[in-house]
Amino acid sequence: MKILGFSGSLRKGSFNTLALRAAQKLAPAGMEIAIADISQIPLYNDDVRAAGEPAAVTALKAQVRAADAVLIVTPEYNFSIPGVLKNTLDWLSRPPEPPFDGKVVGITGASPGQVGTARVQYHLRQVMVFMNAFVVNKPEVFINHCAGKFNEQGELTDEATAKVISELLVAMQKLKTRVG
């Protein structure tokens, strides 16, 4: 199974990017997780889209289409979706042939706070309904107090977090089997 992962943070040393890299290492046998770079996606402008989709958007759409599933790992900004991630999803939702249609999606996120990205995950689920994606409902993976869950080398050291990330990846496999 091929999964394409997005980090909703462009910050160097982002705990969300670290969690996405941890997911790569935790992937079960037969699963490969590639990480997409969303830093080159321009601000959405329908005039630009109508004149010709930017190359970075076309390339990312092709990556999503080629994947069996998408894993979104994102922080929560102002109780919602970070602008860079929302902008990327806005581009990916546009015709022709929006690549999330029928795609399996797993969502998680890391936060220094107690809530652990619960609100952004709720908002992403709403966006995914519009995009006609199949989102894994359980397990819910909220990586709270994230700074204490990674070592100085950026490796995930918290066993409970590793366990729920692994469970999310397995749930993505199972959902993909059910929806085709």
| pLDDT, tens digit (0-9, with 9 covering 90-100), for 20-31 | 999 999 999 999
User: What is the reported pTM?
Assistant: 0.97
Residue 169's pLDDT band, with cuts at 50, 70 and 90, is very high
The DSSP output letter for 146 is G
Cα–Cα dist 27/170, whole Å: 8
Residue 157, amino acid? T
Local structure of 68: helix, strand or coil: coil
| pLDDT, tens digit (0-9, with 9 covering 90-100), for 42-96 | 999 999 999 999 999 999 999 999 999 999 999 999 999 999 999 999 999 998 8
Q: Do you find a cis peptide bond into 54, omega within 30 degrees of 0? A: no
* Fold exhibited by the domain 2-179: Rossmann fold (3.40.50)
